[in-house]
Amino acid sequence: MLRLLLTAALAAGALATSSPSVASTISQGDYEEHVMPANDRWVPWPWSSRQPIPWSDIQGLWKVEQDDFISYFSFKVVTLKSTGIRQLQVKQFDGDSCKVLSNGVGVETNKKILAQMTSKSGNIYRVELTAFSEEDLRKEDIPPLRGGIPTREAMVLSLSPIDSSEVYHMQIVKISAFVTQKFCFEDIRK
C-alpha cells in the first residue's frame, strides 16, 4: 500500500523509496498525541530532540524499507574548497532494479540535512535526513533497525512532494560504507 502511495506521489511530482521500519505520514493539519513539535514543523516521531548530523558516519549506501516499499539512497559528503561548507550528494535507487531514480544536493541546517531531489522525469521533491539518539528507541521500547554497518544514531528519512504538505517519515539504515550501486544489487539478491 505504501509503495503505491509513494509511487503515485513520485509520478505526480514527488518521491520514490521503501522498506520495513517505523513509518508514518502526516499533513500539517494532522496532530496526534505521539507527534512532537520540531522547530516550526510537526514530526511524528516519539523521540527527543534531533542530534547533530553524524558527518563521519553518513557517507555510504542506505536503505529504506516499509511494507512493500523499498528504496536505496547513496550519500556522498563533499566539502566545498572555497567555503569549507559540507554538502551531501544524494542519489535515490529503485528498490527492485537499483536504477537511479533521482539526484540532489543537501545542506545541513538546524541539525538536519535538507535536499531537493529531481527525478529522471523532472519531478521535484524534498528529502530531510535527521539523526536521533538510539536511547530514545530504548525508552519507547522500539527496537532499532539494524543495517549492515553500525551507526551511533537512529536516522530518519522524510520525503515530501515540493507542492504538498504531506510528509512520509521512515527510519533508514546504513548497509554499506561505499557509495556504489554494487551493494544495492548485492542487497537485492539476499
pLDDT in tens, the chain (190 residues): 344 335 545 544 444 433 333 444 444 444 333 334 444 444 545 556 788 899 988 999 999 988 888 999 999 999 999 999 999 999 999 999 999 999 999 999 988 999 999 999 999 999 999 888 777 666 655 555 555 555 667 888 998 988 888 888 888 889 988 888 888 888 888 7
154 phi-psi bin (left φ>0, alpha ψ -120 to 50, beta other): beta
- Quote the pTM value: 0.74
C-alpha cell, 187: 542487497
DSSP 46-112: -S-SPBPP-HHHH-EEEEEEETTEEEEEEEEEEE-TTT--EEEEEEEEETTT--EEEEEEEEEETTE
